Structure 1
Amino acid sequence: MGPTISLGNDLTVPRLGFGTFQLQGDDAYRGTRTALEVGYRHIDTAQGYDNEAEVGRAIADSDVDRGEVFLTTKIKPSNAAAGDVRSSTEQSLRDLGVDQVDLILLHWPAEKYAPLQETLGAMTVLLEDGLTRAIGVSNFPSAMLEQAFELAPVVTDQVEHHPFLGVDPIEKVLEQRGGFLTAYSPLARGRVTEDATLSEIGEEHGVSAAQVTLRWMLQKPNTVAIPKSGTPERVRANFDVFGFELSDAEMQRIHGLERQQRLIDPDGGPAWD
Structure 2
Amino acid sequence: MELPPVGLGTMGVDDPTVVREALAAGYRHLDTAQIYENETVVGAGLAASDVPRESVTVATKLWIDALRDDAVRPSTERSLDRLELDAVDLLYVHRPRGEYDPETTLPAVEAVRRAGLTAAVGLSNFDPDQLAVAHDHLDEIAAHQVEFHPYWGDERLLADAREHGYPIVAYSPLAGGEVLSDPVIREIADTRDTSPAAVSIAWVCSHDPVVTIPKASSPAHLRANLAAAELELSDAEIERIDGIEREVELFPE
- TM category, shorter: over 0.9
Give the Å deviation of 1:258. 5.5
Q: CA deviation at 1:51?
A: 0.4
Q: CA RMSD in A?
A: 1.4
Out of 203, 211, 214, the residue aligned to residue 224 of structure 1 is: 211
The partner residue of 1:150 within 136, 140, 147 is 136
CA contact (8 A) 1:210 1:238 kept: yes
Asked if 1 retains the 8 angstrom alpha-carbon contact of 2:90 and 2:118, the reply is yes
Alignment size in residue pairs: 252
- 2:108 aligned residue: 122
- Tell me by how many angstroms 1:15 deviates: 2.2
Corresponding residue to 1:66 among 53, 59, 77: 53
- 1:192-242 Cα shifts (integer Å, max 9, x gaps): 110111111111221101001111122211101000122332122111224
- Aligned with 1:147: secondary structure? helix
- 5+ unaligned residues in a row in structure 1: which ranges? 1-6
**How far apart are the structure 2 equivalents of 1:143 and 1:80?**
19
Structure 2 runs not aligned, ≥5 long = none
1:166·1:258 contact (CA, 8 Å) conserved in 2? no
Instruction: Name the SS for the 1:126 alignment partner.
Output: helix
Counterpart in 2 of 1:205?
192
Which residue does 1:256 correspond to in 2? 243
Q: Could you tell me which amino acid in structure 2 is paired with residue 124 of structure 1?
A: E
| TM-score for both structures, normalised by structure 1 | 0.88
Question: Which of 170, 173, 176 is equivalent to 2:160?
Answer: 173
**SS at 1:158 equivalent:** strand
2:5 corresponds to 1:20? no
Map Cα deviations across residues 88-145 of structure 1 (whole Å, 9 max, x no partner).
10111111111111100011113x4141121110111111111111101111111101
**Aligned 1:1-273 pairs, distance under 5 A:** 7=1, 12-24=2-14, 26=15, 29-110=16-97, 112-152=98-138, 153-257=140-244, 259-265=246-252, 269=253
Partner residue of 1:3?
none
Task: Please say which of residues 221-230 and 112-121 is displaced more in the overlay.
Answer: 112-121
> What is the rounded CA distance, in whole Å, between the counterparts of 1:156 and 1:256 in structure 2?
27
Measured in 2, the distance between the counterparts of 1:199 and 1:33 equals 31
